[in-house]
Every structure is written in C-alpha cells, then in structure tokens.
Amino acid sequence: MFETKIQDLLKEHVEEIMVVTDKNGGIVWVNDWFTKLTKYTFEEVKGKKPGSILQGEETSEATVKKMREAIAEGKSFNVNIVNYSKEKKKYWLNISCTPIYNDQNEIENFLAIERDITSEYDQNQNRLNKLIEEQQKLSAEKSELIQLMYVLAHDLKAPLNNIEGLVNISDIENKELKSMLSFEINRSKELIHKILSNDSRSSAKISLKAVNFSVFKIINKLVEINKNTIIHTKLKVSVHCPKEFTMCTDQILFTQIVENIFINAIKYSRPSTEIIFNVSEVDDTICLEISNETDMLEAWQLDNMFKPFQNFSMQITEQSSGIGSYIVKKYLTLLGGKIKAFKIEDRVYFQILISNASGN
C-alpha cells in the first residue's frame, strides 16, 4: 500500500522534493530531488529526523514547534521554513506534510512534499527592502519639509510685525480698511503661532484652541475682504445666518476653511451670479453650506477636489496650486468635521459639518 501511494504521488509531483518518514519522524524514503537540493544521499539521512540534519541558525523555532505538534497529533500542516544543505547553504522551503494511513486506519507514515521557494522569497525580500528604503527617504524628506515650515513661519514673524507697526502708526482714515488689515494681520500671526507652538517637530501637528465666536461676523468679514473681487466679477453674495449665531471651535482654522471654499467659489463662479451662504444647526452640529453657479467644475471632479495639487481652473493664466481645497480637508479632520461636495444642475454645493460645543 505504501509503495502504491508513493508511485501515484511521484506521477503527480514529478519535479518536487519528497520525503517519507515513519510515524515517529524517522526518514524511510527520499526522492532524487531531495538529494539534488540538500546534497545528502538517502543512506546519509535514513532513520534520522529531517530537522536534526537540515535545520540551522535562522530556522524559526515557532515553525519547528508547529510541525512537531502537528506530527504528534497526527495532523497535516503547511509551513515555510529555512533549511540548510550539507554544504551549509541556506534555502527556503514550502513544506506540505500529510499522514499516510494503513488498512487498519492507523498512521503509518508521514509524507512531505516540498518546494524550494528561495528565489520567490529573495524577490519578495528585495521588494520589501526597496519599499523600506523609499519609506525612509520619504520620512527624511518629510522631516526636512517640516523643519523648513518652522523656519519659514519664524521668518514671517518679523515682516508681519513690521506691517502691523506701520498700520498702527499710519494715519488711515478709512476705519473699515484699517479693521480689515488688522483682522488679516492677527489671523496670520495666529497661524504662525500655531505652527511654532507645536511641541514635536517630527510631525506637522497644529495646536487647537476652541473659543466662542460669531459665525455671521466671520462670514461677513471674509465678504468685506474680498469685496473688490466680488464687485469686479459682478457677483452677488447672500448670507443666511442669524447674527446671534455662535460657535465653539478653533476660530482660526474655521476661518481658513470657510475662506478657502469662498475664494474657490468666487474664482469658479459665472459672472453676474450669486454665491449663497446657508448656516443651520441640527443636534449640536453646524452645517455651513456655500453654493455657486459654475461651468468650470463637473460632478465627477468633485471626488478629487480635496486631494493635494488638484487644479480644475480652465483659465490658462489662473495661478492656483490646488492646495487650498486640500487644506480644507486637513483642517476639517483636525476639527473632527466633514465636508460634502455635489452638483445639482449648474450649481455646486459645499457642505461643512462641524460639531458645535457651544450650542445655540
């Protein structure tokens, strides 16, 4: 019976390594492929356990334990393991081992069909090493960029302070203009402070500061700042938000989020159309919706809108890095918020959803 099974298996596995042991694990038969790989003849290994002659320094103890337990329990197993030839050459094997039963349904032998997978393993290891090298390179570049960010943020403090000083001492009669300049200076200083106050320069984290503020005032201030562009493009801006409506979150990041979407709305709107702000609250979640009419954004483009460097402007002269929308997504993530973008007919809608700690 044993010889018949071996002959049948030899026909199925012509070019694979085959080892047969007795029920205790002692070798009773090997084929020529075993000798070709290991350099051991059958006479040299007869009666010995494969592990005693083939396993070495880099052989996994956990894998050996798994094989021993399977054999002790009379179970099949499939493992990948490091073995060594007679010449101490390391190689990787895939071993599929199964028990052979006699006519009394008792385990008489174990049959191991083995495949040399050294080449596959080396290829996978090379790919893994390349990925690790690329990851290390990206990490180094990221670290350099973060350090550069700190340097630039620090260097911006001096000219910004100079501008603030000039605004304070200058005789600007237009109070509205002076208010807008002060608003922009303070906002820029807060952004710089957020970068420089980060404790860990190994990651580009931004500190958050939740405060209560008027959503209407933020929107109204952004409309005032962009008034000249709005007039030039003959746009109308409507704000549907109660003046007493307050929100509790990081005001600086919230302002940046709204401003980036608003600027895109101005940029992509058809001339002489309307940009609409709608603000509402449901279950302590603020929904701020900004919509505009445009021919320059299609529904399919909105899926990629918040990836870095996506510029959908159809004006060749338009200077846009595509980073603004990406910043919106990153800042919203920091605030625990979400954004939805969709198009109905010719109108694009951006819905910002942020939890409101203050409650109205």
pLDDT 10s digits, 258-284: 988 998 899 889 999 999 999 998 888
Mean pLDDT throughout 318-330? Answer: 65
Quick one: 223 and 319 in the same domain? Answer: yes
Residue 296 — very low, low, confident or very high, per pLDDT cuts 50/70/90? confident
Quick one: 10 and 20 in the same domain? Answer: yes
Bigger pLDDT: 191 vs 59 = 59
Q: What is the mean pLDDT of the chain?
A: 82
Mean pLDDT throughout 189-211? Answer: 66
Output 260-264 pairs: Cβ under 8 A, ≥24 positions apart: 260/324, 260/325, 260/327, 260/328, 261/290, 261/325, 261/328, 261/350, 261/352, 262/222, 262/223, 262/226, 262/290, 263/226, 263/324, 264/324, 264/325
Quick one: 239 and 358 in the same domain? Answer: yes
CB 85 within 8 A of CB 63: no
Quick one: 109 and 126 in the same domain? Answer: no
Query: What tokens does 91 get?
Result: 């190689």
Bigger pLDDT: 87 vs 176 = 87
**Single residue among 73, 89, 116 that ends a domain in this structure:** 116
Quick one: 10 and 70 in the same domain? Answer: yes
**Single residue among 172, 205, 238 that ends a domain in this structure:** 205
Quick one: 279 and 354 in the same domain? Answer: yes
Residue 150: burial class (beta carbons within 10 Å; 0-12, 13-18, 19+): middle
Query: What tokens does 266 get?
Result: 């101005």
Residue 111: burial class (beta carbons within 10 Å; 0-12, 13-18, 19+): buried
How much is the pLDDT for 316? 36
Quick one: 214 and 194 in the same domain? Answer: no
Quick one: 229 and 306 in the same domain? Answer: yes
pLDDT above 90 for 177: no
Quick one: 231 and 327 in the same domain? Answer: yes
Structural element, H or E, at residue 27: strand 27-30
Quick one: 134 and 102 in the same domain? Answer: no
Quick one: 51 and 142 in the same domain? Answer: no
Can you give the residue range of the structural domain that contains 240?
Answer: 208-360
pLDDT one-digit tens code per residue, 7-45: 666 555 557 899 999 998 999 999 999 999 999 999 999
How much is the pLDDT for 322? 54
Quick one: 6 and 108 in the same domain? Answer: yes
Mean pLDDT throughout 306-331? Answer: 59
Q: How many domains does the chain have?
A: 3
Distance of CA 315 to the CA centre of its chain: 32
Report the CATH number at residue 316.
3.30.565.10
The pTM (predicted TM-score) of the whole model is 0.52
**Single residue among 75, 95, 116 that ends a domain in this structure:** 116
CB 184 within 8 A of CB 225: yes
Instruction: Please tell me the distance from the alpha carbon of residue 34 to that of residue 213, in angstroms, as a whole number.
Output: 78
Report the CATH number at residue 107.
3.30.450.20
pLDDT one-digit tens code per residue, 117-166: 999 989 988 999 999 999 888 888 777 766 666 666 656 666 666 666 66
How much is the pLDDT for 193? 67
